[in-house]
Amino acid sequence: MDRIRITGGQALRGTIPISGAKNAALPLLIASLLTEDRLTLKNVPNLADVNLLVRILRNHGVDLAVDGKRPGPAMHLGETFHLTARDIVDTTAPYEMVSRMRASFWVLGPLIARMGEAKVSLPGGCAIGTRPVDLHLMGLKALGAEIDIDAGYVIARAPKGLRGTRIVFPKVSVGATHNVLLAAALAKGETVIENAAREPEIGDVASCLSKMGAKVEGIGTSTLRIQGRDRLEGAVHTVLPDRIETGTFAMAVAATGGDVTLEGGRIDDLKAALDVLANTGTALKATDTGIRVMRNGGGIEPVSIETEPFPGFPTDLQAQLMALLTLASGTSIIRETIFENRFMHVQELARLGADIQLHGDTATIKGVKTLKGAPVMATDLRASVSLVIAGLAGEGETVINRVYHLDRGFEQLEQKLSRCGANIERLASG
């Protein structure tokens, strides 16, 4: 099993290209199930989660051709995927695949909408919480699907097709919004989703569905209106830049000092997090190509935040911010309101010398003068990259084990950081 070794203390300077957003690429790939025509997606990141989802889609009958990266100034503009689901050969998504990545459960809506049936494994729990699928099923039932659960599988039928309706989610759910949005694109009539998630990735999927022929209104708001179609067409769409990767590298620069341009980063997609980062004493500036992040010698100021659905501070940046705040000149507070078990990185940060106390959903971080390298263990995707940030900012050598978590969501992490002066390398298992 691969590890990453970091020798800390180097300020980051240079340019880091931002890859396509994983959290948009996954539902966009699933959207290929909605049409017989070719769907072309540009700027798809090369990630373990993407590769796993491709295996699942191929199991359903999706053909895939891939154009690789091109050398030159826009190398970060990922790969181009050409997906064609002319014939759906299997409407079952088996446990051994769905259990490895929760987003694969989102094939349920498109399969019901196009084929009138689906059998999809329940995804089960995960490291950062249970994340139940009850809202997914509520929305699909409202669209007319008959749903049973048997032996760990959701068995859904809609022999007469789905019909548009009004759906009011009792709480915001990104996954349920994606699943229902995709299904509604092939439902008869208008579907209105109230209390929909507002994340930019939802808007990116809605924009792609509009190109395919399903009119979507209210993008970026909590009310989505979808005019479904009997048939969707092919389209060409570019995956938006990854705001979580953008925020992660911004916090790495803040923790280590330096001056880095995040090429392709978009301030509007990350305003809450960048406002918090500015309050720590980090300088941020929009440029023609992205976002410039600077911290040259000044201390890190403490801050207090709580995670919220978009447009609030994203839970996917909570661990990274905590790594930064371990070096603040005072006490910071982080309250995690989205996932009930998303503080597993705390014990690993403590191995590096961090002073963090947990009380339920709240972490109190007392800044220390220095972190010191040590062996640590990655526990989930975002927690693992918080250890990278801490290792970059600390003294001495940090070795991060179980880095397959990083490969799920960060493309070429070591290469991007090393090009900006970080002393970081992957140690292959042997």
- Round to whole Å and give the CA distance between 285 and 372: 31
Taking alpha carbons only, the member of 326, 344, 327, 328 closest to residue 336 is: 344
Assigned token pair, 337: 């309101």
Phi and psi at residue 21, in whole multiples of 5°? Answer: -75, 120
Taking alpha carbons only, the member of 1, 121, 101, 107 closest to residue 49 is: 101
- CA 251 to each of CA 153, 284, 330, 390: distance values in angstroms, whole numbers, following the listed order: 40, 11, 18, 10
Sign of CA dihedral 60, 27, 176, 188: negative
Enumerate the β-bridge partners of residue 258: 12, 295
Enumerate the β-bridge partners of residue 364: 333, 357
Q: Is 367 left (phi over 0), alpha (psi -120 to 50) or beta?
A: beta
- The binding site comprises 22-23, 102, 131-135, 171-174, 316, 338
Instruction: Name the active-site residue from 115, 126, 155, 344.
Output: 126
Tokens 């909590």 found at: 222
- The binding site for phosphoenolpyruvate comprises 22-23
420 is annotated as an active-site residue: no
Q: Is 43 left (phi over 0), alpha (psi -120 to 50) or beta?
A: left
355-372 burial code (b ≥16 CB/10 A, e <16): ebeeeebebebebeeebe
- The binding site for UDP-N-acetyl-alpha-D-glucosamine comprises 102, 131-135, 171-174, 316, 338
Residues with a catalytic annotation lie at 126
